[in-house]
Structure 1
Amino acid sequence: MPGTFCLVLHSHLPWLPGHGVWPLGEEWLSQAWAESYVPLVAELDSLAAEGHRDVLTLGVTPVLAAQLDHPRMRRDVGTWVGLSQQRARELGFDADPVRRAAATREYAAAGRVERLLAIRWSGGGSPVLRSLRDAGVVELLGGPAAHPFLPLLLPEVAALALESGLSDSTWRLGERPRGIWSPECGWALSLAPAFSAAGVGHFVVDEQLVRDAGGHPHAAWRVKGTDVVAVPRDLDVTNLVWSSRTGYPAAAAYRDFHAREEFTGIRLWAVGRGHDGSPAPYDTDAASAQVDRDVAHFVDAVRARLEQAHAATGGPALVVAAYDTELFGHWWHEGPTFLGRALRALRANDIRVDTLENALARDDGRHVAGELELGAGSWGAGKDFSVWDGPAVAQIADENLWMQHRWLALVERERSAGRVGNRRPDLDQLLMTLWNALSSDWAFLVSRGQSVDYALRRAQEHRADFHRLAQLVEDQDAAGALDETRRQARHDWTFPALDARLRPR
């Protein structure tokens, strides 16, 4: 085929340890870990064992990597899976044979996850990620520390967030990533100096951003005046899975995410309904057959898109599909199986599958079509910044700006006074708290009307912690600042290697 297909997965959750358990909080992490990350890695391990290399580009945000390495969360996710297995065991005593069959299936599935956590994941997430990268199976993307929406940060703070995140990835994985995932695919021209200085080679943007700048989505584009390459995701191909209305996960045969058994919480039913309108029992054989049909359709669609792009441009086409990792397994139970079969089928049909980094270097860089002066945008609703600074979240945006100004002023005073020669636990914690406060998740959840109370509370708690500790530092109350640092560290010691003396490149 005249071109390359790249699959990009963006893995992210905000910092959750110490901030509630259920229905939001640590259980959110356990669900994604057990239902998405473990089965996805199992698929990648199977592909690797078959000899596949360079199968996809995997972004794991530094804040998620920190949670996958967190000693207590590593223990608690195993407990969570064990409880899931126990609930399946209880359902196994039901008089209904359909429910008993589902209990057997879910009990076995939880047992497999339990074994993989105990063996493959015993050292946390970093050894898993590093092994996949070192074996040449995936390219790992980096990113800013705790997933802030970069275009709304002050330039100095955006540069510091990026350097903090890339430094953390280097500390955990032994290598500084060249590519990054800019949170929410956010971009503004003001970010160009920070990206260049940090050595960013490439990042993913929304297709519309490239089109608005006069380009097309069938190639990557160098940001004008820099060596940084923007890679657009192809919406036509991405939406085959991504669309909530017409995407593959909406097929009747797949397991319904929302409907649960009343007492155990086990998902017994398929998306479709019976002739009488009642929920249809989930059938693994029917779901597997549907996966095969969707894989065949996906392969045909990628082939057609590559041919169409080649005909339009006359050169080798680049087609990039980018998704949240948690879609596969957690939201779409059959998702990891689909990914594994799709990657195998694409290559079996002579479609080149590669990582972003390899694709950009291939054919003397012919996948980079030229330079574009990219305007501002995101992959959020409206393709603008309104999800993170619109009327519903204006207060969050204003408070975030004030915290950034206070941080910069505080650190400058401490430096001018000669008080940052040695590492300062209070400043380290203050910067960690700032990153958690600036997470894009809080405004996103509020704007989308999802878990609004939780999001507002989290944003307020981190802001209050930041200002409390900042005031103690400004008052030169060393003892009080140290006590407050210890208190915050008990639940928000997110980046143990973070050094507040860090300066952007």
Structure 2
Amino acid sequence: MCADRTPRAAQKPLRVVLCWHMHQPQYRDVVNRSYRLPWTYLHAIKDYEDMVAHLEDAPDAKAVVNFAPVLLEQIDDYAQQVREYLQGGQEIRDPLLATLAAERMPEDIADRRRLAEACLRANESHLIEAYPHFHVLAQMVRWLRDQPAGFRYQSEAFFADLVTWYHLAWLGETVRRRNKRVQALLDKGQGFSRGDRLELLGIIGGLLDGLLPRYRRLAEAGRVELAFSPYAHPIMPLLLDLQVAREAVPDALLPDVRGYPGGEERVRWHLQRGLETFEHYFGHRPAGCWPSEGGISTATVRLLAEHGMRWTASGENVLVNSLREAGELDENGERTWLHRPYRLEGADTLCFFRDDGLSDAIGFRYADWHSDDAVGEFIHHLENIAAGASPDTVVSVILDGENAWEYYPANGYHFLTSLYRRLAAHPGIRLCTFAECVDELSRPPQLSRIVAGSWVYGSFSTWIGDEDKNRGWALLVQAKQRLDELIREGRLGGERLEQALEQLAICEGSDWCWWFGDYNPADVVGDFEALYRHHLSVLYGLMDEPAPEALGQVLAHGSGHPAAGGTMRHGSAGQD
């Protein structure tokens, strides 16, 4: 396990992989096709748009971009909705986006209040206060919270300007800087007509339409590696065996169930459906998989290898736990064990592990730094790693590609511009992809087994192990058991069964239990636990079964104020 101390001058540049993971859960009701929360299209026009633009602007840089397949489908669906509305007047099935295009603003007081509250769900410093007109409107909404009868007396112009500014604020910085139609709307500032709002809707539709093809073109040009997660973003190791939660946390409190029934079959379903969806949008089979939340186990990696994945990745603490169990962890050295891939015995898939310090610095520390200082410090850390590097060294920087940027000025524009430019120009650093590393590193060290865990703390404590999360799992197991019974009895088949299996997949997604817990904000917990209960209720409807009474009861109440509003976590415990 000792590093090769070849003099730096005789070595090749340090391999650095920037891996951005993009995912949202399913916000769409599979029965009526309407959206209950707007986060997919808002992140698409802001973060996914800016991320692809920065990569297009940096021809000498490379990165890995990972998509959850259920997100790809939603982006495509939104693009189609806007296109069909503008061409033929078909209904837009997202209430907030539909209001932007509406002929009239809501008249009912409750509807007006819901719209006003929805338009305040944005970063205060960078998405509201940055725009004086929007800031004034937001202050008025806050006053109206204490004087709700006042919603009756607000003009249509108030709500039209509010919903217009909300969408202008959520546009990517690259769009605001480069699109003259957007600049004209920003300059107008107030008194937006329906024509203005339709103009903005057309801009949004164009962004949604072009988004996935742009990522595909970058991949076809060899400038980006595209990767995937299993279809609806489930925690695969827990579906395979709930007991693996105790490998990293031996005293974890688990749900009072025997396990997740038919878990391996479900994991295979998510992998196969995810691969099919990825190929549909990008035209090729991915070489690698960022498993949902970096959740891996020995059994999970073997399944990924069986599905032809050349690489996968997880968190630093998963590697720490695995090396420590094997007695191979050097806890006093230079951590050269972290910056290299490993191969699980008996599997061909290479496993890369996230550098928590570097990844979390981008996710949390650098947001309020000057971009040159932040990138300078980041590069300094890489230079220190390079000084002790060996020929097989790979630094894996893996993080959320959508939620960090609203905490940066200008949606991270200055930071990302500088990051790509300076890394690509550095003679001692080589930006590359995981697939390229697999091609170059044919004899990585082996792991006899993997101590199951995720990129968050090296465990699954974010998804299982407390009362609220365990209740969520118990309700899911109950629904799966009933579905299995109906299939065995021959009472569910054909298209109805296919719909039920897709709905089950949505309920198996990781996001629901992520949010359960008092440490998260109450409003977000309320949104996600209600949507989870709704999705489970829809599943029972597809089974033509009554939903359990428990689905009518609130599962979790949040009261916390975690970093980044709970949308992101640090890789190591004690940081959040």
Residue 374 of structure 1 and its aligned partner are, at CA, apart by 0.9
| CA displacement, residues 460-495 of structure 1 (integer Å, 9 cap, x when unaligned) | 11111112212469xxxxxxxxxxxxxxxxxxxxxx
Q: Is the 8 A contact 1:31 1:330 kept in 2?
A: no
Q: Which residue of 2 is the match for residue 320 of structure 1?
A: 396
Distance in 2 (CA, whole Å) between partners of 1:405 and 1:37 is: 38
| CA displacement, residues 417-474 of structure 1 (integer Å, 9 cap, x when unaligned) | 9x96xxx32122112211111111111011342322222211111111112212469x
How large is the Cα RMSD of the aligned pairs?
A: 3.5
Q: Which residue of 1 is the match for residue 299 of structure 2?
A: 190
The match for 2:314 among 199, 205, 212 is: 205
Residue 337 of structure 1 and its aligned partner are, at CA, apart by 3.4
Is 1:58 aligned to residue 62 of structure 2?
A: no
For 1:82-481, list aligned pairs within 5 A. Answer: 90=133, 110=176, 112=178, 117=203, 121=207, 123-153=209-239, 154-214=263-323, 216-243=337-364, 247-251=365-369, 290-308=370-388, 310=389, 314-332=390-408, 333-350=410-427, 351-362=429-440, 364-365=441-442, 368-380=444-456, 382-391=457-466, 392-411=468-487, 414=490, 424-447=494-517, 448-450=519-521, 451-471=524-544
* Cα distance change on mapping 1:407 and 1:79 into 2, 3 Å: closer
| CA displacement, residues 321-355 of structure 1 (integer Å, 9 cap, x when unaligned) | 11101134334344243223212211211111101
Q: Which residue of 2 is the match for residue 276 of structure 1?
A: none
Distance in 2 (CA, whole Å) between partners of 1:399 and 1:112 is: 48
Distance in 2 (CA, whole Å) between partners of 1:168 and 1:383 is: 29
Q: Identity percentage over the alignment?
A: 22
Distance in 1 (CA, whole Å) between partners of 2:73 and 2:399 is: 21
Distance in 1 (CA, whole Å) between partners of 2:543 and 2:205 is: 43
Q: Is the 8 A contact 2:342 2:447 kept in 1?
A: yes
The match for 1:32 among 25, 40, 43 is: 43
Q: Is the 8 A contact 2:44 2:208 kept in 1?
A: no
Q: Is the 8 A contact 2:316 2:458 kept in 1?
A: no
Q: Is the 8 A contact 2:363 2:400 kept in 1?
A: no
* Secondary structure of the corresponding residue to residue 390 of structure 1: coil
* Cα distance change on mapping 1:119 and 1:132 into 2, 3 Å: farther
Distance in 2 (CA, whole Å) between partners of 1:403 and 1:201 is: 34
Residue 88 of structure 1 and its aligned partner are, at CA, apart by 5.4
* Cα distance change on mapping 1:59 and 1:81 into 2, 3 Å: farther
Distance in 2 (CA, whole Å) between partners of 1:327 and 1:92 is: 22
Residue 14 of structure 1 and its aligned partner are, at CA, apart by 1.2
* Cα distance change on mapping 1:121 and 1:2 into 2, 3 Å: same
AA partner of residue 183 (structure 1) = S
AA partner of residue 515 (structure 2) = L
Give the length in aligned residue pairs.
402
* Cα distance change on mapping 1:122 and 1:457 into 2, 3 Å: closer
Residue 409 of structure 1 and its aligned partner are, at CA, apart by 4.8
Structure 2, unmatched stretches of 5+, are 1-11, 86-91, 102-118, 120-126, 138-164, 183-201, 240-262, 324-328, 330-336, 547-576
Distance in 2 (CA, whole Å) between partners of 1:400 and 1:411 is: 17
* Secondary structure of the corresponding residue to residue 398 of structure 2: strand
| CA displacement, residues 193-244 of structure 1 (integer Å, 9 cap, x when unaligned) | 421221122111101111222262110111221111111011122122234x
Residue 91 of structure 1 and its aligned partner are, at CA, apart by 5.7
Q: Is the 8 A contact 2:354 2:455 kept in 1?
A: no
* Cα distance change on mapping 1:372 and 1:305 into 2, 3 Å: farther
Residue 413 of structure 1 and its aligned partner are, at CA, apart by 5.2
AA partner of residue 57 (structure 2) = S
